[in-house]
Amino acid sequence: MKKIAALLLIFLLFTVTFPGSDTISSEEQRENASPWPGFRRGEKNTGLSHHSTRQVDGTVLWSRLARGKINSSPAIAEDGSIYFGSDDGFIYALNPNGRTIWWFETYGVVHSSPSLDRYGNIYIGSDNDKLYSLMPNGQLNWSFDTDDIVRSSPTIGYDGTVYVGSSDGRLYAIEPDGEERWRVETGGAVTSSPAIGDDGTIYIGSGDGHIYAVEPDGMVKWRLETGGAVNSSPAIGKDGSIYIGSGDGHIYAVDPAGTVKWSFDTEGAVSSSPAIDQDGGIYFGSEDITFYALNEDGTLKWSFDTDGPIISSAALGSEGSIYFGSNDGHIYSLDEHGNLRWKTDTGEPVISSPAIGGKDRLYAPSTNGILYAFMGVPSAPENLTITVDDGELILRWNASLDKGGDDITGYRIYKGGDVDSLRWVVQVDPETRYFSDSNVDIGETYYYRLSALNAAGEGPRTDIVNATAAVLPDPPMDLEASPGDNKVELRWEPPDNDGGGEIQYYRLYREEEDEDLTYLDSVKAPAQEYIDENVTNRINYYYYVSAVNEAGEGDRTEGVRAMPTPSYSLTYCFFLPTIMIASLLILWFLHWYRRWGKKSPPRLDINYKGSKR
């Protein structure tokens, strides 16, 4: 028993964690559940999503009108539900299609942004001086009273503690059951939203012009004075550095000990909360109407001017796209280099911050009282090809690599007689990867391209492919086979009917006596001859030729026979008879010489006609 108890004690020592140890943060716990669980996405307030928004092109999927202005930034639940507050005093819950699930009345303007815990409970403040905890179905868990309006957005710690500021000048730590754990007094209204470091330290700004660092037990670790009210919310980098803006026009980089590493000066108050990308780049807006991108060392990377002050805080897609609002009434999207991707005019200032609700989904409210849902369209289908099949044109393709913010609902096929006359002719099911077009005229060239569709609309189209409609060609004409010495020369004429498509090449076949027909070779058109040197003299060969166009291979010709034979030179043909005659004369002479010895042989005269004289 003692050994078992000792083992249990060791296990507990290694598994129990404390603030300041290497714990799994609530941000990490919720990472695979909610795509955007609260203002600035997580407890470090980086504003960086783990989802790509590459296909979000400014297309509005739907919009939802509240009964008051929207200064609250949305939070997105695991199931895609969207939560936000409005100046009408209500907290709204919408489904991913924009329909209202429920609403909860607070009897006060709601500028605070909701935050979700790992169980889906919603925490949000109101101008009725309360912080609310709601169940996912909209029922009240509890409410917590402060002494002034609550426009700070709550942040949830790894242990479920809720941290929130109030305009009564305090930072509150509230237990998951709604009981106060501690409070910290500052000298000004706290509209900044807390950020939590890896060691459990809570960072927040105050209207008294200071940045505060507070221990998990509520003791102030340090405070740093700036030259203006700090309404911006802090963001924490990978190295623990804290980035935060101030009403004095600066953004500050502060190390965990409270020492300023650097500051960057703008020409207006910085109420926007900074966002931090994967490489440590810092992104924020200023009331000088400019949006800034800084390197990790505080040097300027680029800037982008709008037509109004920027209070909205940026959301970053994992691929580098940047989203924010401006008081000029636009929702902006920039690429990682500061180039404008698109902008949407809402007609009223955009003060709240966009939220990324999953892959290729973006939600952004405006003070016109409308929440806009943007969803990415699919990328173009991949690897579109076209082939000709005996009077039909066959299209084949692969699915889009990026389906956008929703499932692909179909593929749209465009067709035309030239590149300028393409029009939509048919839409096929999302599972289809093949289309056969028999509505073509033989000999005519047709052009095609495709696009993919989802709930947001039509994505970009593929490159254009084209082909000429054709049927199989007739056999070539007048095939001739001329035998030679260990070779056969073949010649033919093109077919009378090329099938409507240009002859691309000819296929040659050969058959030996008592052997099967075999493929011999191909000849690229317009060539119409071929020499077969892989033959043996005095063997019969039979040859066949077919024509090939875009539609395929046509019928073969009738076979023609050829027997290669040796060839003799002119010199050989002239001297052979001479040698034979000389040989006969020598033999005759030797015969008579042996018979008569040295006597002269009888005279043999041969006249012109070959008779004796």
β-pairing, 370-375 vs 361-365, is antiparallel
Residue 612, pLDDT score: 43
Q: What is the pLDDT of residues 235-259, one digit of tens each?
A: 999 999 999 999 999 999 999 999 9
E strand or H helix at 251: strand 250-254
Q: Burial of 340 by CB count in 10 Å (0-12 exposed, 13-18 middle, 19+ buried)?
A: exposed
pLDDT of residue 583: 72
The DSSP letter of residue 472 is P
CA-to-CA separations, 294 to 4, 281, 285, in angstroms, rounded? 56, 6, 11
The answer to which of 11-15, 47-51, 543-547 has the lowest mean pLDDT is 11-15
pLDDT for the residue numbered 143: 98
Beta bridge partners of 201: none
Collapsed DSSP state (helix, strand, coil) of residue 279: coil
Mean pLDDT value of segment 326-354: 98
Q: 380 is written with which tokens?
A: 């173009």
Amino acid at 91: I
Cβ-based burial of 443 (10 A; exposed 0-12, middle 13-18, buried ≥19): middle
Residue 283, strand partner residues = 275, 293
Quick check: 371 pLDDT over 70?
Answer: yes
- pLDDT of residue 480 exceeding 70, the answer is yes
Residue 200 has pLDDT above 90, yes or no: yes
The pLDDT of residue 252: 98
Determine the pLDDT at residue 603. 56
Q: Are 220 and 210 in contact (CB under 8 A)?
A: no
**Count of CB atoms within 10 A of residue 237's CB?**
17
How long, in residues, is the chain? 613
Cα–Cα dist 40/30, whole Å: 14
Dist. CA 362–CA 409, nearest whole Å? 20
The answer to which of 29-43, 56-70, 362-376 has the lowest mean pLDDT is 29-43
Residue 232 CA from chain centroid, whole number? 34
Residue 348 region by backbone torsions, left for phi larger than 0, else alpha for psi between -120 and 50, else beta: beta
pLDDT above 60 (res 311): yes
> DSSP of 328-372, one letter per residue?
TSEEEEE-TTS-EEEEEE-SS---S--EE-STTEEEEE-TTSEEE
User: What Rg, from alpha-carbon coordinates, does the chain have?
Assistant: 44
Q: What percent of the chain has pLDDT over 90?
A: 82
Q: How many other CB atoms are there within 10 angstroms of residue 331's CB atom?
A: 24
* pLDDT at site 550: 84
Exposure string for 555-584, b = 16+ CB within 10 A, e = fewer: ebbebbebebeeeeeeeeeeeeeeeeeeee
CA dihedral 19→24→28→30, nearest 10 degrees, is -90
The owner of tokens 């928004």 is: 53
Q: What is the overall mean pLDDT for the chain?
A: 90
pLDDT of 524 over the 90 cut: yes
Instruction: Dump pLDDT digits (tens) for 548-595.
Output: 998 889 999 999 999 999 876 545 555 556 677 777 777 766 766 666
**φ, ψ (nearest 5 deg) of residue 316:** -115, 130
Euclidean distance between CA atoms 172 and 184, whole angstroms: 7
Residue 383 burial (10 A CB sphere; 0-12, 13-18, 19+): exposed
**d(Cα 119, Cα 97) in Å, to the nearest integer?**
22
Contacts of 3 (CB under 8 A, 6+ apart): none
| Mean pLDDT, residues 379-395 | 94
Long-range pairs for 160-165: beta carbons < 8 A, 24 or more residues apart: 160/26, 160/117, 162/115, 162/123, 162/131, 162/133, 163/194, 163/196, 163/202, 163/204, 164/112, 164/123, 164/125, 164/131, 164/193, 164/194, 165/190, 165/191, 165/192, 165/193, 165/194, 165/204, 165/206
More confident residue, 535 or 3: 535
What pLDDT is recorded for position 551? 86
- The answer to which of 155-159, 288-292, 376-380, 592-596 has the lowest mean pLDDT is 592-596
Instruction: Round to whole Å and give the CA distance between 409 and 414.
Output: 17
- Four-point Cα dihedral 461, 462, 468, 472, nearest 10: -120
* The pLDDT value given to residue 602: 57
Q: Are 456 and 377 in contact (CB under 8 A)?
A: yes
* Sheet of strand 122-125: strand arrangement: 115-116, 122-125, 130-134, 140-145
pLDDT per residue as tens digits for the range 175-185: 999 999 999 99
Which strands sit side by side in the sheet containing 242-245, from one edge to the other? 235-236, 242-245, 250-254, 260-265
- How far apart, in whole angstroms, are the C-alpha atoms of residue 228 and residue 260? 16
Task: Please tell me the predicted confidence (pLDDT) of residue 15.
Answer: 40
Predicted pLDDT of residue 23: 40
Predicted local confidence at residue 600, as pLDDT = 55
Is there a contact between 341 and 333 (Cβ–Cβ < 8 Å)?
yes
Token pair 């173009």 is at which residue?
Answer: 380
Structure tokens at 483: 């035998």
Closest CA to 535 of 489, 488, 568, 481: 488
Question: For strand 122-125 and strand 115-116, is the pairing parallel, antiparallel, or unpaired?
Answer: antiparallel
Tokens 């039909």 — which residue? 392
CB 315 within 8 A of CB 340: no
- The pair of three-digit structure tokens given for residue 130, joined into one six-digit string: 């309360």
**Mean pLDDT over residues 500-529, rounded?**
93
d(CA 597, CA 5): 139
Structure tokens at 585: 């004369």
Most confident range (mean pLDDT) of 5-19, 124-138, 391-405, 454-468 is 124-138
Read off the pLDDT of residues 7-31 as tens digits, 9 standing for 90 and up.
444 444 334 333 333 344 444 444 4
